[in-house]
Amino acid sequence: MFKVNKDYLKLPGSYLFSETGRRIREFEAAHPEKKVIRLSIGDVTQPLAPAIIEALHDAVDEMGHEETFRGYAPDLGYEFLRSTIAEHDYRARGCEIAPDEIFVSDGAKCDSGNIQEIFDKDNKIAVCDPVYPVYVDSNVMAGRAGTYDREKETWSNVIYMPCTSATNFAPELPRETPDMIYLCFPNNPTGAAVTKAQLARWVDYANQKGAVIIYDAAYEAYISQEDVPHSIYECEGARTCAIELRSFSKNAGFTGLRLGYTVVPKDLKVNDVSLHSLWARRHGTKYNGAPYIVQRAGEAVYSAKGEAQLKQQIAYYMKNAACILQGLRDAGYRVSGGVNAPYIWLETPKGMGSWQFFDELLENAGVAGTPGAGFGPNGEGYFRLTAFGSYENTVEAVRRIKEM
Ligand SMILES: Cc1ncc(COP(=O)(O)O)c(C=O)c1O
């Protein structure tokens, strides 16, 4: 008789978005006259920029002609895209990353879930709390997280690094030494960012302890402050301790198109075993590449037209973020994030539970957000709003919240 992977059975249900969805649907059914504004989604709403649409059309046409038709993509992704990434995302920022250290994929979610596969089961992971749930759940599936404590909502073999208002929602170096450290800045869900000096401390720490940092920079395009690094490779020494994950979802609206990449520097080794060759082996064996037309669309992100259009798109979302930040501050809320990220992290009033605040906001303002508790124990007492809605809806949502 076949047996299932028992580690999957340890996973608590993905409660957060099914539960918020259920509550929103129930509210809408009971109040059909009220239009609920969703500031809960982590998905973009603006259409693809014209430069990207043009590149897609051109690539589709190429696929229709024998001379320009493409079949399977090269293992690492097309050279035209990898060299463009190396130039624009790295060399232009003074980072030394070669095109063959870049692995093109269909997004950062898959990569952040899959990357743990090249590490031994005995490694101990450290995550921020609150956290993007994929890092923890993928390690649970791999049998690396230990046992789940339902009361504390924590795993026995995971080091949690609290990110609280006391540290501006940045983690402190953990007391217990981890082997794998997941960092995500600008952060989902808190919207917090770290300075280059802060990130450099983590790079030094990882090099000193022989740990690897898995750095998720999916929200890099939203950085507005000078001293916030766009890549971990801006920090000296990162080539020997860090893997970086990037996504085209939030900088260019590819959430439905799907494109991302992972950087594994060749200097990243343990006992002479190179993580680059392990990831290359894994990528070559289990993955057949992002579609040619999507990789051409990705290339257009870096064209002069593409860059200008996407700058406007980011500015559109960040205008929403500024509107939420200012509006909630005026209404007396304690808020953070929203400056280098499209997420606003607000403290629930009067110490209210985050699920209770979800209900109050829905019932009294017809606005949906995401309860902080869904991202980890230290998310309790907080609430996430996103800047990905339309400007009109965002202004209306803020008006309603102010009236509560
Ligand atoms: C921190 C973080 N990483 C990765 C992703 C997923 O990115 P992608 O769409 O490229 O899979 C998200 C999406 O919300 C995210 O918040």
Looking at ligand 1, which residue's alpha carbon is closest to its atom 1?
A: 188
Contacts of 243 (CB under 8 A, 6+ apart): 115, 212, 213, 214, 215, 262, 263, 264, 268, 275, 279
Contacts of 346 (CB under 8 A, 6+ apart): 328, 333, 334, 335, 336, 382, 383, 385
Confidence at residue 321, expressed as pLDDT on a 0 to 100 scale: 98
Exposed, middle or buried by CB within 10 Å (0-12, 13-18, 19+), for 27? middle
Angle between helices 304-330 and 391-403 (to 10 degrees): 10
Looking at ligand 1, which residue's alpha carbon is closest to its atom 2?
A: 218
Q: Probe ligand 1: pick from 114, 220, 247, 345, max atoms within 8 Å of CB? A: 247
Ramachandran category for residue 183: left, alpha or beta (phi over 0 → left; psi -120 to 50 → alpha) = beta
Residue with tokens 């000296």: 236
Confidence at residue 89, expressed as pLDDT on a 0 to 100 scale: 98
Looking at ligand 1, which residue's alpha carbon is closest to its atom 6?
A: 109
Give how far the C-alpha of residue 185 lies from the chain's centroid of Cα atoms, to the nearest Å: 8
Three-state DSSP class for residue 198: helix
Confidence at residue 42, expressed as pLDDT on a 0 to 100 scale: 85
Residues recorded for the chain: 404
Pocket of ligand 1 (CB under 6 A): 42, 107-109, 112, 132, 184, 188, 216, 218, 247, 249, 255, 260
Enumerate the domain spans of the chain.
11-47+305-403, 52-302
Q: In 3D, which of 112, 130, 127 has the Cα closest to residue 216?
A: 112
Confidence at residue 16, expressed as pLDDT on a 0 to 100 scale: 84
Other CB atoms within 10 A of residue 86 CB: 20
Q: Is the dihedral of CA 318, 386, 375, 15 positive or negative?
A: negative
Q: Probe ligand 1: pick from 43, 214, 250, max atoms within 8 Å of CB? A: 250
Question: Looking at ligand 1, which atom is closest to the CA of residue 247?
Answer: 10
Confidence at residue 12, expressed as pLDDT on a 0 to 100 scale: 87
Ranges of residues in the chain whose predicted pLDDT is under 50: none
The 3-class SS string of 4-71 reads CCHHHHCCCCCHHHHHHHHHHHHHHHHCCCCCCEECCCCCCCCCCCHHHHHHHHHHHHHHCCCCCCCC
Question: Looking at ligand 1, which atom is closest to the CA of residue 249?
Answer: 9
CATH topology of domain 11-47+305-403: Aspartate Aminotransferase, domain 1 (3.90.1150)
> From the CA of 50, how far away is ligand 1's center (Å)?
23
Confidence at residue 41, expressed as pLDDT on a 0 to 100 scale: 79
Question: Looking at ligand 1, which atom is closest to the CA of residue 259?
Answer: 10
Confidence at residue 135, expressed as pLDDT on a 0 to 100 scale: 97
> Which amino acid makes up residue 325?
L
Question: Looking at ligand 1, which atom is closest to the CA of residue 109?
Answer: 11
Question: Looking at ligand 1, which atom is closest to the CA of residue 187?
Answer: 1
CATH topology of domain 52-302: Aspartate Aminotransferase; domain 2 (3.40.640)
> From the CA of 63, how far away is ligand 1's center (Å)?
29
Confidence at residue 279, expressed as pLDDT on a 0 to 100 scale: 98
> From the CA of 108, how far away is ligand 1's center (Å)?
5
The 3-class SS string of 252-314 reads HCCCCCCCEEEECCCCCEECCEEHHHHHHHHHHHHCCCCCHHHHHHHHHHCCHHHHHHHHHHH
Q: Rounded to 5 degrees, what are φ and ψ at 281?
A: -65, -45
Confidence at residue 82, expressed as pLDDT on a 0 to 100 scale: 98
Contacts of 61 (CB under 8 A, 6+ apart): 68
